[in-house]
Structure 1
Amino acid sequence: MLRLDHLALRQGDFTLTADWSLAPGARLALIGPSGAGKSTLLAGIAGFLPPERGRILWQEDDITPIAPGKRPVAMLFQDGNLFPHLSIERNVGLGLRPDLRLSGAERDRVCAALARVGLEGLADRKPGNLSGGQQSRAALARVLVMNRPLLLLDEPFAALGPAMRAEMLDLVAEMAGETGTTLIMVSHDPGDAQRIAGLTSVVAEGRAAAPVETGALFANPTEALRDYLG
């Protein structure tokens, strides 16, 4: 279980608060206006932004002081974060070993991950030789080999067209279901939340509200969600 215990994150003059928990295997969408703090919350959970106060707990262990790379967290960023000079195989391998000194078993894991996301046979290509959707799949494969129980998505598919974005979201949901991964994703599109997230937190006015069931929330929106939807 992920628990945000009276958490407060500050960036300049802006402060975001959150005080709630999320069950293992849950899929949560963070939705709200631009600048409301959705990415700030992900940065705090991932360890890139130290809290001003409060704690972040995973399975009742306090991970607040733990460095990002040591947390049970994998994160997909908006740009995919692929290195253009490395092959797709080596980009994915970075999820296992930053020095890329992979064992035979680790290379097998990379190949299996590429096959799982539909990139079998493309391991030697550079990111610039792939389509936008294929680059997103490569970034997802790197997350897959990391095998972390908590996956954060900071709109990694925002640049894709609607059909491709829906396909990638379905693939993420399928993979999360297979592994029991807890998923938190930032989205500006209510359709994305309704597509794969059983729970939604509205982030507005400096607060990430406690998660509620997505269908019920959109059927009877809170005032903050109504303001966002217009």
Structure 2
Amino acid sequence: MLELENLVFQYGRSIPPWRFHFSVEAGQCLAIQGPSGSGKSTVLNLIAGFLAPDSGRILWQRTPIHQQKPWQRPVTSVFQEHNLFEHLDVFTNIGLGIHPGLKLDQHQRKAIDAGLERTGLAGFGPRMPGELSGGQRQRVALLRAILRRQPVLLLDEPLTGLDADTRHILYAMLLEEKARGITMVLASHDEEERRILADSYWNL
């Protein structure tokens, strides 16, 4: 279970603090709803460790993780900016998500190739991020996150800009991850995304 216990974060004294208190069971997806600027991306950044809370705790399986570095947390993220390494090809970008030293076994290499094919990117492994469209970059970022196999997956507008066919392929992949026990927190304005992926909702 992922738990946020009385988490408080404030950007500056002139802005009221945000307060977050919720939990998500393993294998469930919580959709965070609210208008732009209400704190959806902020709470994902707090869970990921890119922001530090002013008070409160974040726990995974009853163990506090809010003082751990981002790379120490059992978390992977897909943000709107894609966050690909521009100087590395697509295959390497995905491989680094699986192992930071790129020590991939044959099964992992096959999983990358199969994932690229399934997401309509077969043969794109040697391409550089600058050669990709925004939608293609988003598919690479999402595939990398899925193949990391971390127990918590954070999704910030994960399917923005993708066509209907691609969206449904990725819905299927994300639902498979939930069935494997992956816990998800979804921030999305898209009603279809929330309806298909979410098991519960938390309103900001």
Band the TM-score falls in, shorter-chain normalisation: 0.7 to 0.9
| Identity %, equivalent residues | 41
Could you say which residue in structure 2 is the equivalent of 1:217?
none
Structure 2 vs 1, CA of residues 161 and 144 (structure 1 numbering), >3 Å: closer, same or farther?
Answer: closer
Could you say which residue in structure 2 is the equivalent of 1:132?
134
Rounded to whole Å, the distance in 2 between the matches of 1:169 and 1:32 is 23
Q: Aligned partner of 2:79: which letter?
A: F
Matched, 1:28 2:40: no
CA deviation after TM superposition for structure 1 residue 9, in Å: 1.7
Q: Give the counterpart of 1:111 among 110, 113, 132.
A: 113
Matched, 1:184 2:194: no
CA deviation after TM superposition for structure 1 residue 202, in Å: 0.8
CA deviation after TM superposition for structure 1 residue 99, in Å: 4.3
Could you say which residue in structure 2 is the equivalent of 1:196?
197
Rounded to whole Å, the distance in 2 between the matches of 1:103 and 1:168 is 26
Rounded to whole Å, the distance in 2 between the matches of 1:44 and 1:91 is 24
Rounded to whole Å, the distance in 2 between the matches of 1:102 and 1:161 is 29
Could you say which residue in structure 2 is the equivalent of 1:62?
64
Could you say which residue in structure 2 is the equivalent of 1:7?
7
CA deviation after TM superposition for structure 1 residue 128, in Å: 3.2
Matched, 1:72 2:61: no
Could you say which residue in structure 1 is the equivalent of 2:158?
156
Rounded to whole Å, the distance in 2 between the matches of 1:64 and 1:14 is 21
- Aligned residue pairs total 202
When normalised by structure 1's length, the TM-score is 0.78
Could you say which structure has the larger radius of gyration? 1
Structure 2 vs 1, CA of residues 91 and 37 (structure 1 numbering), >3 Å: closer, same or farther?
Answer: same
After superposition, what is the alpha-carbon deviation per residue over 1:29-69, rounded to whole angstroms, capped at 9, x for unaligned? 11111111111110111111111111100001111111111
Give the unaligned 5+ runs of structure 2: none
Could you say which residue in structure 2 is the equivalent of 1:17?
19
CA deviation after TM superposition for structure 1 residue 18, in Å: 1.6
Structure 2 vs 1, CA of residues 31 and 50 (structure 1 numbering), >3 Å: closer, same or farther?
Answer: same
When normalised by structure 2's length, the TM-score is 0.87
SS state of the match for residue 11, structure 1? coil
Given that 1:176 and 1:183 are in contact with CA atoms closer than 8 Å, whether structure 2 keeps it comes out as no
Rounded to whole Å, the distance in 1 between the matches of 2:167 and 2:118 is 17
Rounded to whole Å, the distance in 2 between the matches of 1:194 and 1:98 is 34
Q: Give the counterpart of 1:86 among 80, 85, 88.
A: 88
Given that 1:133 and 1:164 are in contact with CA atoms closer than 8 Å, whether structure 2 keeps it comes out as no
After superposition, what is the alpha-carbon deviation per residue over 1:190-228, rounded to whole angstroms, capped at 9, x for unaligned? 33212321211111xxxxxxxxxxxxxxxxxxxxxxxxx
Could you say which residue in structure 2 is the equivalent of 1:53?
55
Rounded to whole Å, the distance in 1 between the matches of 2:56 and 2:185 is 20
Q: Aligned partner of 1:194: which letter?
A: R
Given that 2:5 and 2:21 are in contact with CA atoms closer than 8 Å, whether structure 1 keeps it comes out as yes
SS state of the match for residue 98, structure 2? coil
Give the unaligned 5+ runs of structure 1: 204-230
Rounded to whole Å, the distance in 2 between the matches of 1:75 and 1:178 is 18
